[in-house]
Structure 1
Amino acid sequence: MDWKPSRHSDIPIYQQIVDFIEKRIIYGEYPPGSILPSERTLAKMLEVNRGTIITAYDVLHSKGMVERIKGSGTKVSSDFWGLTRNRIPNWNLYVESGSFLPNLPMYQHIQDEIQERSLINFASGELAPDLTPYADFRHILSQSEFNHSLGYDHSQGNLSLRNTVADHLQEYKRIDCTSQSILITSGAQQALYLIVQCLLHPGDSVAIENPSYAYSLPLFRSARIKTHLLTVGEQGVEPDDIIALYKKHKIKMIFLNPIFQNPTGTLLSHERRTKILELSAELGIPVVEDDPYSLIPFSKEADTATLKSLDRNGNVLYISSLSKLVASGLRIGWIVGPQKVITRLADAKQQVDFGHSIFPQWIATEFLGADTFAGHLNHVQQRLLEKRNLLIASLERHLSDYVTFHAPEGGVHLWCSLKREVNEYRLLEAALRNGVVFVPGSLLGSEKGHMRLTFGRTETPLIEEGVLRLKQAFMMLT
């Protein structure tokens, strides 16, 4: 037997043995009536205590998988297929067998901590309550007349919202499109999911930024897509690296977050934006542009022209949402692309959820089309700049011995490099004990020694206190 239980796993050893034997039985490798190794023999083979094997066999017996006959040993139940007794499904086996992979355990841990505890939150990429336009929403709900059907809407999304989004994109981002080239999605996350599932095949190669939010997404692994990394430098990714990946791996698609990139806050230079579009047209490779932050610059001089606004060949699939501008809970995002692609993605979305709920679409239509939107956007820009400046000042005052960082020109993320060799995950646990949370850099990229601090969600009066608690966590480990 080549298999051995892992002593580093969170799963008890006896349960690992139960799961292993149960799989062998279900797969027919241990047929009904076959004799299993004796307790002593299996304990020696697996290098565990005999008591561990006894416990495992007892569990298998209680589930009806094996029979334990005194003097004859343990054998696979002859009634394994349930002719005379009921059996409990092995839910662990089902959970492990699904094709849609779970989030990384550390991400799950961070989310659990955020939901269950009151923490100073430098981890979530959403807006703080003081940036959410509650008054505008209340006005819409009390003054605007809702007269839409409560049945299923158009598979691409409500027509009024799509027309409003088209006007919004033209006015604020210089992107020309019509309602026919827009698909309303449940945020940018669903947009990425639909693109990967509908436009790529298992085994295809794609290019993603490193570090990047996409680095941690299980949707690529679930779809069995091979991801190849483009290093993000001070001016963003290097176009020549795209050529190298294409020659070596024949990449089918490029995923970029060029404006105030997550997590580094980097702004892809205009020259590189132009060059990437030229390469896309030359090689025939589509670019998926994720653009949550281009409307959150901290100066009027920042060049926030999106790839889509510069695209003259229709090579860019453009994704954006209201999550980082208005409220993540609205779950309003969109994809802009060729009509044939939008129709394909809309068909898939219809199969998944029968289209988007009319209520958030109605609120988004009213909000985006209101005269107050420009004022809200200006408010968000100013308050986020205040939060960024306060975070930078606090880091310089309290953590200059521990981190260096790049000050972003927009967006909500600040990317820190650790000056000292510290295990990021131990640092996270120490921070959680002190009541503050961040995202370790290793969850977002291939290199260790970084951390992402997101200032959009943190309430302004708590930012400096959060940095002080981070300092305490560093001091506990160094």
Structure 2
Amino acid sequence: MWQKQKLTQFEGSLFQQLTHLIEHYIEQGILIAGEKLPSERELAKMLQINRSTVVHALELLTERSILLRRRGSGTYVNNKKWGVQTYSSINWRLPAHFYRDKKSFYQQKVAQVRAQQVHICDLANGDLPTNLIPKLQLPDTSLNELIMHEKNSDALQLGLPSLKAQIATYMQTQFSMQVDINEILITSGTQQSLFLITQGLLKPGDAVGIESPSYFYSLPLFQAAGLRLYGIECDNEGITLESLANCVQQHQIKWLFLNPIFQNPMGFVMSNKRKQAIVAFCRSQCIGIVEDDAYSSLAFKPNLPVLPIKKWDQHNQVIYLGSLSKYIGGNIRIGWMVAPRNIIKNLSNIRQHIDSGLSILPQLLAQEYLQHHHTVHQQQLRQTLQIKAEQLMHWLDCYFGGEITYQPPLGGFHLYAHLPVKTVAQELAVLNKLLSKGVTVSQGADFGDNLGTIRLSYGHFEQQIISKI
């Protein structure tokens, strides 16, 4: 494993070859998360190179947080993604299987259960259940009209004007916000919006702050862009200003990515006071904010502070991301971005160069939903999700005998819970027992959290299935 000839398969100086070798071993699973490396002296001896060369390579990988060096203990493979910077270029030497999804052992077992069993309680699935998707019909549009729209896709690279006008009306109705349609970019969903932002407004090595835990942590696009993720502690009102200030001071955060309304996975709603304080602090530090709003129309009770952070943005420092995937399903991929015109134009140009643009059909369906269906459907969706959330809480209390702890959901899709476990083995025993009964969950580790936390997406809670457990 640590023979000198292993270095020769890589290009560059000796320290670069050693850096690539260690990364290669991590990528192939030869070195696993948390594993201890041989000492500097041992590596130098086995590889027949100078110790200073080993130190140089280890320090570089430690600086990128791929390795962790503990004084008096040794050097370890980082078992978390916090602070890790990867290179944004593709390593063409890697075998094809490296580009497949890297699932944990538990995630692999969940995939097997989904493939083998028809009737399961899939609480790990964060998508809208198919039986809650509204039935939409295309407006009276001829095939020739659709073809003409597609032919004019270059002229419509910011999105269908009629859909943008409908989105502006929707945001006025929902949030009493005046939005200029020229500051709206239609996207194929939040993931495309985030990809465009990471490619157009950030560069490899930039530090990005996110809530801890957060679903942003689970997205590979940040690491693919070579960005460093840093977690910011939260309370019941969102990220704390103290933790944000400490993170900015230590890591020179360039952008803040937040999911403030029914946050995924924790479910909190950021208070209006906290939103205003964060906007003021970020302005003082010249930090941009990307706000992902996927759930704000799914409040279980009135008078919750579901207004977006963008509402308090007076200086064009907040980019707002909206999406309909949690309302009309993920197959109709439509979202939107609200940002200054120059940013909208630049990001649309990036998309035009790397993508074929937007299809007209999803845009017409989204327009139909916003124009004729959203009010009634969202009310029905809120009622259904609230019932399922209450059923889930009742089952959790009965199944765990009151030993599981959680905050009752205020809305959205998710309940975040703490299991009565103290070790990895105890956690896996609980999860495997649930899995054997056809119940899947998402581990908190998927979102950058610690042992014993799970996310349950109650939209997929099925009383008939769970009653048999």
* TM-score category of the 2 structures, normalised to the smaller one: 0.7 to 0.9
8 Å CA contact retained: 1:208, 1:256: yes
Task: Structure 1 unaligned segments of length 5 or more: list them.
Answer: 5-19, 30-45, 47-89, 470-478
8 Å CA contact retained: 2:138, 2:368: no
Q: Secondary structure at the match of 2:311?
A: helix
Sequence identity, in percent? 33
8 Å CA contact retained: 2:113, 2:438: no
Amino acid at match of 1:151: K
1:402-441 matches, cutoff 5 A:
402-423=403-424, 424-425=427-428, 427-441=430-444
Q: Secondary structure at the match of 2:209?
A: strand
CA distance in 2, matches of 1:420, 1:108: 19
How many angstroms does 1:362 deviate by? Answer: 0.9
Which of 161, 165, 171 is the matching residue for 1:159? 161
1:16-51, Cα deviation, whole Å (9 max, x unpaired): xxxx96x9457599xxxxxxxxxxxxxxxx9xxxxx
Cα RMSD, aligned residues only: 2.8
1:9-408 matches, cutoff 5 A:
24-25=8-9, 93-95=94-96, 102-105=101-104, 109=108, 110=110, 113-114=113-114, 117-118=117-118, 119-134=120-135, 137=136, 140-141=137-138, 147-148=145-146, 149=148, 150-151=150-151, 153=153, 154-370=156-372, 372-408=373-409
CA distance in 2, matches of 1:396, 1:428: 16
1:90-121, Cα deviation, whole Å (9 max, x unpaired): 997343787xx955546963456545643321
Q: Secondary structure at the match of 2:325?
A: coil
8 Å CA contact retained: 1:230, 1:237: yes
CA distance in 2, matches of 1:336, 1:3: 54
CA distance in 1, matches of 2:301, 2:386: 9
- Classify 1:102/1:343 alpha carbon distance in 2 versus 1 (closer, same or farther; 3 Å): farther
How many angstroms does 1:432 deviate by? Answer: 3.0
Q: Secondary structure at the match of 1:253?
A: strand
State the match for 2:25 in structure 1. none
Task: Structure 2 unaligned segments of length 5 or more: list them.
Answer: 14-29, 31-90
8 Å CA contact retained: 2:121, 2:460: no
1:261-295, Cα deviation, whole Å (9 max, x unpaired): 10011111221111001112211111111111111
- Classify 1:232/1:113 alpha carbon distance in 2 versus 1 (closer, same or farther; 3 Å): farther
Amino acid at match of 2:190: A
Q: Secondary structure at the match of 1:330?
A: coil
- Classify 1:2/1:338 alpha carbon distance in 2 versus 1 (closer, same or farther; 3 Å): same
How many angstroms does 1:408 deviate by? Answer: 1.5
How many angstroms does 1:175 deviate by? Answer: 2.8
Q: Secondary structure at the match of 2:406?
A: strand
- Classify 1:103/1:352 alpha carbon distance in 2 versus 1 (closer, same or farther; 3 Å): farther
CA distance in 2, matches of 1:319, 1:144: 29
- Classify 1:108/1:194 alpha carbon distance in 2 versus 1 (closer, same or farther; 3 Å): farther
CA distance in 1, matches of 2:386, 2:186: 29
8 Å CA contact retained: 1:102, 1:218: no
- Classify 1:26/1:152 alpha carbon distance in 2 versus 1 (closer, same or farther; 3 Å): farther
- Classify 1:113/1:397 alpha carbon distance in 2 versus 1 (closer, same or farther; 3 Å): closer
How many angstroms does 1:127 deviate by? Answer: 1.4
1:121-168, Cα deviation, whole Å (9 max, x unpaired): 10111112231112xx1xx23756663323252222222211211111
CA distance in 2, matches of 1:26, 1:301: 60
Q: Could you list the runs of 4 or more consecutive aligned residues of structure 1 that deviate by over 6 angstroms after TM superposition?
A: none
Residue 5 of structure 2 is aligned to residue 2 of structure 1 = no
8 Å CA contact retained: 1:259, 1:304: yes
8 Å CA contact retained: 2:404, 2:418: yes
TM-score, length of structure 2 as denominator length: 0.75
1:341-361, Cα deviation, whole Å (9 max, x unpaired): 111111122223221111111
CA distance in 1, matches of 2:260, 2:291: 7
Aligned length: 384
How many angstroms does 1:234 deviate by? Answer: 1.7
How many angstroms does 1:430 deviate by? Answer: 3.9
1:359-396, Cα deviation, whole Å (9 max, x unpaired): 111111112111x3211111111111111111111112
State the match for 1:474 in structure 2. none
8 Å CA contact retained: 1:287, 1:317: yes
Q: Secondary structure at the match of 1:297?
A: coil
8 Å CA contact retained: 2:397, 2:403: no
CA distance in 2, matches of 1:115, 1:349: 35
Q: Secondary structure at the match of 2:412?
A: coil
CA distance in 1, matches of 2:197, 2:387: 36
8 Å CA contact retained: 1:156, 1:355: no
CA distance in 1, matches of 2:94, 2:107: 20
CA distance in 2, matches of 1:117, 1:143: 41
Amino acid at match of 1:389: E
Which of 442, 447, 462 is the matching residue for 1:444? 447
TM-score, length of structure 1 as denominator length: 0.74
